[in-house]
Amino acid sequence: MGTRRSTLPGIGTQYDFTTEDGRHISVVVHHDGRRFLGFYDRDDPDACQQAVPLSQDEATALAHLLDAAPIDAVRTDGIDLVTEHIPVTSKSPYGGKLLGDTKARSRTGASIVAVLRRASAHPSPEPGFRLAIGDTLVAVGTREGVDALAEIIAGTPAGVDD
């Protein structure tokens, strides 16, 4: 089983999921909130056999069917806020660095509200909290802000400031 997250410039974000038996499924989340489920050919992982469009309400209902834990986006005065888990992988430039080094909030507007490490959680981490490879950041912000933060943590070119 594996997952992958890819930024689609000008469109949104694609989340790819491969099941234990090798089936490839993706979810594309557009900047405007539209979502599409994609089901791929088992023999050709690039050939999408079917795409199913989902409204935000339909996506939330499906998510609740898959996992009963509350995962709704928070709506505040018409602005959608999302919560996302962002892994600190071995490719991240922030493994071993201080949380404050990310400058997450000033660069993206997203906030890191917790760090999950192995079997423990560190809520409301201070800027002096040292990140480690394998940590998972719990981020809250707009879709665009959280996506930008994920790129920064991943060390992808789109997330690098100069």
Burial 14-26 (b: 16+ CB within 10 A, else e): bebebeeeeebeb
Instruction: Please provide the distance, in angstroms rounded to a whole number, between the alpha carbons at the two ends of the chain.
Output: 36
What's the Cα-to-Cα distance from 56 to each of 29, 31, 48, rounded to whole Å? 10, 12, 22
Burial class (CB in 10 A: 0-12, 13-18, 19+), 10: exposed
The reported pLDDT for the residue numbered 73 is: 47
**Whole-number mean pLDDT of the chain?**
82
User: What are the residue boundaries of the structural domains of the chain, listed by start?
Assistant: 2-66, 74-159
Q: Which residue has the tokens 């909290």?
A: 129
Per-residue model confidence (pLDDT) at position 68? 53
* pLDDT at position 159: 43
Inter-residue contact 73 to 57 (CB < 8 Å): no
What CATH code is assigned to 74-159?
3.30.70.1450
pTM as predicted: 0.54
pLDDT in tens, 38-87: 998 888 777 888 999 987 778 777 777 776 554 444 445 555 778 888 99
